[in-house]
Every structure is written in structure tokens, then in C-alpha cells.
Amino acid sequence: DAGVTQSPTHLIKTRGQQVTLRCSPISGHKSVSWYQQVLGQGPQFIFQYYEKEERGRGNFPDRFSARQFPNYSSELNVNALLLGDSALYLCASSQGVTSTTFGSGTRLTVV
């Protein structure tokens, strides 16, 4: 049984560009959350989706958006990239709060 899969694993973008990160949850998990982890800090909540609906949003600008598809996979989009967006982006899937499992993340570098 595959865990949470994220793609790509690494990405380099220039300032002002747009990026799309992808996540496939564990089979049977209907909830997907996105977290940003800046080097040396704990993960910060960005979004949570359940059954294709946004259920929560963290303190991030409107440049960040996400969506969930009928197969429960999800995409995170970031527009107008800034240097400060450089981070590890983690996707987590869960059936309930106590079964949250993280993917290996996408490391985004903005230059």
C-alpha cells in the first residue's frame, strides 16, 4: 500500500514564476492538508481539503491556492513566487485527525 506521494521532489523556480505541486493521498483517505516547512522551523498549515471542499486555511497570502480532485488527489499552486517561498512543502493525508501521515515533500527553491 503506497503512502502519501508528492511530485516533484525538487523544484527550482525564479522569482515571479508560478508553481504547481501535486499530492496523492493514502488510498481511502479523503482529507488532504498542505504545510510549508521553512528550514529550521516546524511545519506551518496552509490548507486542508476534505471531499473536494476547503475546510481550513492558514495565514498565507492569496498567492497560495489549492484544490482537491474527485480521486482525492490535490494540487497546491503558488503564484508570483518570492524568495521567501523557498521551503519544503509537505502534503498530509488523513481519515481522521489521529491518522495524519506526511509525504516526503517537495523542496522548492526560488532564485
Partner 1 sequence: GENVEQHPSTLSVQEGDSAVIKCTYSDSASNYFPWYKQELGKRPQLIIDIRSNVGEKKDQRIAVTLNKTAKHFSLHITETQPEDSAVYFCAAIIQGAQKLVFGQGTRLTINP
Binding positions for partner 1, rule: CB under 8 A: 31, 33, 35, 40-45, 48, 50, 55-56, 58, 90, 92, 94, 97-98, 100-105
Residue that the C-alpha cell 508553481 belongs to? 19
Query: Closest distance between partner 1 and the C-beta of residue 45, in Å?
Result: 5
Nearer to partner 1, 5 or 73 (CB): 5
Query: Closest distance between partner 1 and the C-beta of residue 33, in Å?
Result: 7
Q: What DSSP string runs through 40-109?
A: TS--EEEEEEETTEEEEE-S--TTEEEEE-TTS-EEEEE-S--GGG-EEEEEEEESSGGG-EE---EEEE
Nearer to partner 1, 14 or 101 (CB): 101
Query: Closest distance between partner 1 and the C-beta of residue 97, in Å?
Result: 6
Nearer to partner 1, 58 or 64 (CB): 58
CA dist 34 and 21 (Å) reads 10
Nearer to partner 1, 16 or 58 (CB): 58
Nearest of 8, 69, 78, 71 to residue 36 by alpha carbon: 78
